[in-house]
A and B are shown apart, each in its own frame.
Chain A
Amino acid sequence: MKIENVPMKGLSSEEYEKTLKIPWNPNLQYAWDNGIGIGKYLHALKEGKILASYCEKCNRIILPARAFCEMCWRPTDAYLPVQDTGIVNTFAICHVNWDASRLKPNEPRHIPAVIEIDGASPGQGILHLLGNVEPSKVKIGMKVKAVWKPAEERTGSITDILFFEPY
């Protein structure tokens, strides 16, 4: 066989619909332990705070909070709250859901962003969403602030922050 004439067939949409397929919907359920560092991070979110870790050796305040510094490969020395404000490092205006399905024209666009959190070392960003802003108004460098769920509705999840909005 040569590369030019390897037999291989891609099915058309019609052919594909006619093939015998065995669908499988796995019902796998996972219960993830939060761990030490992230456990503290989630607990702080429930209290309306963003928690970082401090590594004395590289003198970095790092996000999210973690039990060890991956650069120095040693335990972190302290947990400390940082601000719930930050600046937009980068962002996207997304018209697609996580499963590649398309948003309807009237649905609000997802605006994911990497947000560098104030009080952490430079470059320490987290992934979150922007809200209460026209997509066309979003800029790199924009100052944003967390919009929290009401305290009684928080569960200790990253979604305790609904989104970040300009301030």
Chain B
Amino acid sequence: MGFRKVAIVGAGITKFVRRAQETGPEMSYLASKTALDQAGLKLKDVEMITLGSAPDAFDGVHMKGEYLLSGAGGNNKPYIRNFVGGGTGVFAPIHGWMHVASGACDVCLVVCSEKMSSCHPHPQGAFLTIFDHTTEQPLKPTLIWIFALEMRRYMETYGLSKADIARVAVKNKNNALDHPSAQVAEAVTLDDVLNSEVLAEPVHRLDISPASDGAAAVVLASEEVAKRLTDKPVWIDGVGWNLDTAYWATKDLYYPRYVEKAARMAYEMAGITEPHKEIQVAEPYDPFDYKELHHMEGLLLCERGEAARLTAEGFTARTGNLPTCPSGGALGVGNPIAATGLMKVIEIFLQLREEAGKRQIPGKPRVGVAQAWGDLMQVGTVIVLRR
């Protein structure tokens, strides 16, 4: 299609924590330095930088990209921030891919950083302004409402129980026990999730990922540079992104059409015609447990309404046919919004290199997909990686 090949050659993540002592620029530095160290590069080798971060309202810092620039290594370099809400963490490497695939540069550093804890008592309050200021904000909505509304619609459409959904939280939080960056790895049981505090029925506290602080970074390189740097490049084989209307109450809440469209775009680029057979490991975005199921279906990894059954049967466990969120996902590792999506891309990168340590899935996977979602249930971002 006229694009240059682009590889991921290095990755870094900070720990995901509650109330980090470090500032946003400090976290960005830690993730970026780790990624460059792993790639065997110095900052002077980086030609362009792209940064992802979610709303300015979390930090109370307007023009957050400019604020984070120093830690992300952006002084005096072509630097730009991108932002598509929760979809940012997978869009940032897509954005970096554009820089390298187009030939604009050979080495691009992609940094995602989020510090949610500056907004207190709870960053949830900052989400009020995501809703339409005239027709919705006067009703005092919280973001949890729309997730509860969507989750109930999904359960109703396919006849699913709370337990069918909660199994995702159990799987992911337990997977996170093996992730060195995890914030909330917990050996939780199904009963723990079902009996946790009710926030907005059907959503309970353990159905939700925590607010987090953290950063992640990857180094992208052109084919020639990648082959010089490593004998284990992981190729970005396909990218896709799609946005649906902000009139969210007029959409089919049980199915993320925009995720499917983004996935089809990425699969076509990657030459994937049967995703449920060809994809060997997946990191669907799971800020809520039902979202992993929603997104497995949107990613065409299974039939609509089938994801819960596959989860119950162990199909998506690390040892199953299609492991999903072997990292522990947003539910387990934590959810510093933009950094979470990039953490997922990094997990696929590590799995395909067989460097995921205790989290490594069996069978020498060759192809994986990572996905993120965000805004007013609007955006899907998808990336396909191949070893």
Contact = CB atoms under 8 A, between A and B. Distances in A.
B78 to A, nearest CB: 25
B185 interface: no
B233 to A, nearest CB: 18
B327 to A, nearest CB: 11
A167 interface: no
B30 A3 contact: no
Given A95-B200, A100-B125, A114-B253, A3 B180 contact: yes
Interface stretch (B41-49, B148-156, B164-172, B362-370): B148-156
Contacts of B19: 10-11, 16
Q: For chain B, what secondary structure do more than half of its interface residues adopt (helix, strand, loop), or is it mixed?
A: mixed
A24 B126 CA distance: 14
A8 B27 contact: yes
Interface stretch (A75-83, A85-93, A144-152): A85-93
Interface string A1-32: 11110111111000010010000101000101
Contacts of A67: none
A3 B13 contact: yes
Interface in A93-107: 93-101
Measured as residues with beta carbon below 8 angstroms from the partner, the interface class of chain B is 35 or more
Interface in B125-151: 125, 128, 131, 133-136, 138-142, 144-145, 148-150
Given A99-B124, A114-B149, A157-B138, A1 B12 contact: yes
Nearest to A41: B135
Given A8-B20, A100-B121, A128-B139, A70 B134 contact: no
B249 interface: yes
B204 to A, nearest CB: 10
B324 interface: no
Contacts, number: 168
Contacts of A2: 34, 37-38
A10 B214 CA distance: 10
A26 B203 CA distance: 31
Given A125-B249, A125-B250, A9 B149 contact: no
B302 to A, nearest CB: 23
B34 A9 contact: no
B38, B156, B213, B249 — which one has the most chain A CB atoms within 10 A of its CB?
A: B249
Contacts of B22: 8-9
Contacts of A99: 121-122, 124-125, 128, 142
A6, A19, A126 — which one has the most chain B CB atoms within 10 A of its CB?
A: A6
A9 B117 CA distance: 13
Nearest to B246: A70
B14 interface: yes
A96 B34 contact: no
A142 interface: no
B138 A92 contact: no
Contact of A159 (B18, B60, B139): B139
Interface string A48-80: 000000000000001110000010000000000
A112 B15 contact: no
A118 to B, nearest CB: 15
Interface of B: 11-15, 17-22, 27, 30-31, 33-34, 37-38, 60, 121-122, 124-125, 128, 131, 133-136, 138-142, 144-145, 148-150, 152-153, 156, 180-181, 183, 198-203, 213-214, 245, 247, 249-253
Interface of A: 1-4, 6-11, 16, 19, 24, 26, 30, 32, 34, 38, 41-42, 62-64, 70, 89-101, 110, 112-114, 123-129, 135, 140, 157-159
A-B pairs with the 10 shortest C-beta distances?
Answer: A10-B17, A92-B148, A100-B124, A100-B122, A99-B125, A93-B201, A94-B200, A8-B15, A90-B153, A125-B249
